[in-house]
């Protein structure tokens, strides 16, 4: 009798959890999972020992409520913008203690500032979640979904869900381009891009084997144009550093080819390629077209191009934040993230191919 009551109680709890999730506007048949670095970190680094943190003002000055959340931006990240377009609430950070129960059923964001494709990337910032660690955390999430929805419904969720990736920038900025970089001594630029693409392909394969089918991968932006590299490389006039952009374009081209291979290899999969590089570079070269007046300095930062030290407490940001391409030495402003998010959501080739995010989400 006690065993029968335990089983009944367990089923009742599961039903209540699902009902609660539905009451919150969450569709338990589909979720959104975000993997990446500081470009989409919603605050995971708030909970680890690291110097890569943004949970202080003036970060978040234009975020809803005007409070810092751990996002490296004055407002929303591009993942936030796409999440809103999908009519979902902002995804919780995986490491947030409140990310449990029905709160996870709409999806989770695992992204971590300084994280990279390679485990060794970002060691100069001490703590960070590499892509491999993020995938391990996703496996933990799967068990939580199974506990709440049951194995059959959970499997359906993982197959229907969207998987977003914004990763790779730190594998250059905080690895290959670092002074006295071990990887730079070990690999030529061409060899290094092959190492990155092969490892990233292995990681995407692992997620496919875990049930993922709809993948959106955003390539690496023009790192030779960001304020930190303009300052580090001592650009005399704010022009982009060509050799760095060449490295990135080599990686992006190899990544795009590999995604075509993965799509052919894995039945039922769709790998979408978002060209963040071209979108950002076009804003660097044609700022007026996008309502921008400054495309080579951070709105908030210290040193040459506001690119030598990040946006920290006590540093006043620029007034015209919606007219700056960069918020700080590394990251776009809220205004630019909105432009990029809109382009990825409804745009066409070559911005995003073979389909946009709206079309990917609509796939059965």
Q: Which residues belong to the active site?
A: 38, 328, 331
Asked if residues 169 and 131 have their Cβ atoms less than 8 Å apart, the reply is: no
Q: Sign (positive/negative) of CA torsion 199, 110, 33, 72?
A: negative
Angle between helix axes 189-209 and 131-149 (nearest 10 degrees) is 10
d(Cα 106, Cα 157) in Å, to the nearest integer? 10
**Which CA distances in Å does 40 have to 5, 111, 130, 173?**
45, 6, 14, 16
Count Cα neighbours of 259 within 13 Å in the Cβ-side half-sphere: 23
Angle between helix axes 334-346 and 276-285 (nearest 10 degrees) is 130
Angle between helix axes 276-285 and 242-265 (nearest 10 degrees) is 150
**Which CA distances in Å does 91 have to 25, 60, 200, 272?**
13, 16, 23, 21
């Amino acid at each position: 009798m006690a065993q029968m009551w335990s089983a009944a109680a367990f089923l009742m709890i599961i039903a209540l959890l699902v009902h609660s999730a539905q009451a919150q506007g969450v569709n338990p048949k589909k979720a959104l999972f975000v993997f990446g670095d500081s470009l989409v970190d919603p605050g995971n680094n708030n909970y680890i020992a690291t110097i890569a943190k943004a949970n202080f003002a003036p970060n978040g000055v234009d975020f809803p409520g005007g409070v810092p959340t751990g996002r490296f931006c004055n407002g929303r990240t591009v993942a936030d913008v796409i999440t809103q377009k999908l009519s979902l609430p902002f995804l919780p950070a995986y490491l947030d203690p409140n990310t449990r129960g029905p709160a996870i059923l709409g999806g989770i964001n695992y992204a971590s500032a300084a994280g990279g494709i390679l485990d060794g990337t970002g060691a100069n910032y001490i703590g960070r979640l590499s892509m491999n660690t993020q995938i391990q955390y996703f496996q933990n999430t799967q068990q939580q979904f199974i506990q709440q929805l049951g194995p059959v419904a959970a499997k359906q969720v993982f197959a229907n869900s969207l998987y977003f990736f914004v990763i790779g920038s730190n594998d250059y900025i905080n690895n290959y381009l670092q002074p006295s970089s071990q990887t730079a001594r070990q690999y030529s630029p061409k060899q290094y891009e092959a190492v990155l693409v092969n490892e990233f392909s292995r990681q995407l394969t692992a997620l496919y084997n875990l049930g993922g089918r709809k993948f959106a991968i955003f390539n690496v932006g023009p790192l030779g144009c960001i304020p930190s590299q303009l300052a580090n490389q001592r650009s005399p006039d704010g022009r982009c550093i060509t050799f760095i952009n060449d490295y990135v374009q080599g990686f992006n081209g190899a990544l795009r080819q590999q995604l075509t291979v993965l799509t052919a290899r894995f039945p039922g999969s769709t790998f979408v390629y978002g060209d963040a590089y071209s979108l950002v570079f076009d804003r660097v070269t044609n700022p007026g077209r996008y309502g921008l007046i400054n495309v080579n300095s951070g709105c908030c930062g210290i040193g040459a191009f506001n690119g030598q030290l990040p946006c920290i407490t006590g540093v006043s940001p620029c007034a015209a934040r919606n007219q700056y391409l960069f918020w700080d030495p590394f990251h776009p402003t809220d205004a630019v993230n909105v432009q990029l998010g809109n382009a990825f959501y409804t745009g066409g080739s070559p911005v995003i191919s073979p389909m946009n995010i709206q079309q990917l989400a609509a796939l059965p």
